[in-house]
Amino acid sequence: MTLLLHLADFNERRWADGFAAALPGRKVVTRADSYDPDEVEYIFIWKPKPDAFEGLHRLKAILSLGAGVDALLRNPSRPKDVPIARFMDEDLTQRMSDYVVSQVTMHQRLMTRFRRDQASKQWRQLYPAPAWDATVGIMGLGQLGLDAARHLKVFGYKLRGWSRTAKAVEGVDVFTGPEQLDAFLAGTDILVNLLPLTAETQGILNYDTFSKLKRGGIDNEGPVVINAARGGHQKEADIVRALNDGTLKAASLDVFEVEPLPQDSPLWAMDNVYITPHIAAASSERTGVAYFSKVIKDHEAGLPLPNVIDFARGY
């Protein structure tokens, strides 16, 4: 058995050394190594090149380093009959919840207002309302969305969620499908996007969506949008327009239509935008190696792959 690593933006050699130690008796190679493509049974991948799968005719599974798999599904060389298992462990989930809680709390505590006051050396004492006066709407109630809701509930936020299928979540008002999207948005002060990127969700964070959010909440410093899912969900020209005309009061963005975010993007200079470079839920080398080493061993022993993508749904 050969495991091939194809990782953009990560140190392939370090990951390979980790897998080699965790998978004795198996061959672990990177793109820079010499190997026989016909011996590759598993590929561990992130941001694949267009030709990433060429020559890999004996693949048993595609292992995705990230939770998002839209780039994999679009890849022209991907064998259509090979299952894709995505990375989704407690470490990654906790990191995403850490990001969501930090950004929600920051906006609920009116930090854009105080950031501007600091820049202008203004001492204006405005006391933020408590968390239970703010309603957080989470788009996407998969593992990441549910865990974020669990953490936010501890702080007392009013919670609502929107998902493709009906779900019962304690402490969360759940809205389902396109027909209930407007009602979901109308009561939301802080919109958190954790959706998978599919044809249906592409560009969902647009001006029309923003215009349907609750007006005047969070001491008139809302509504706010937080996107930690995929850059393809947002239309950045619409975000800039909404932030400039008051349709949105602030935004926290961890993902972008083009990454790295181009130097000429107006988002860089906006004082009501908080930019992070796609690090909300960065995968840990230690936990990633442990997770997928077990996946490979279990699969070799005849057990099913976990977190397998449903190709019909796109996630």
Q: Just list the catalytic residues.
A: 230, 278
Inter-residue contact 297 to 180 (CB < 8 Å): no
How far apart (Å, rounded) are the C-alpha atoms in residues 275 and 255?
8
Half-sphere exposure of 57 (CA within 13 A, CB side): 3
Q: Could you tell me which residues come within 8 angstroms of residue 7 by beta carbon, excluding any fewer than 6 positions away?
A: 15, 44, 45, 46, 47, 65
Report strand pairing: 273-275 vs 250-253: parallel
Q: Which residues on adjacent β-strands are paired with residue 308?
A: 85
DSSP state of 113: H
Distances (CA, A) of 260 to 196, 212, 254, 255, 277: 20, 30, 11, 9, 7
**Kind plus residue range of the DSSP H or E element containing 283:** none
Question: Which among 275, 273, 242, 228 is positioned nearest to 101, based on CA atoms?
Answer: 228
Cβ–Cβ contacts within 10 Å for residue 65, how many? Answer: 24
Place of tokens 């972008």: 256
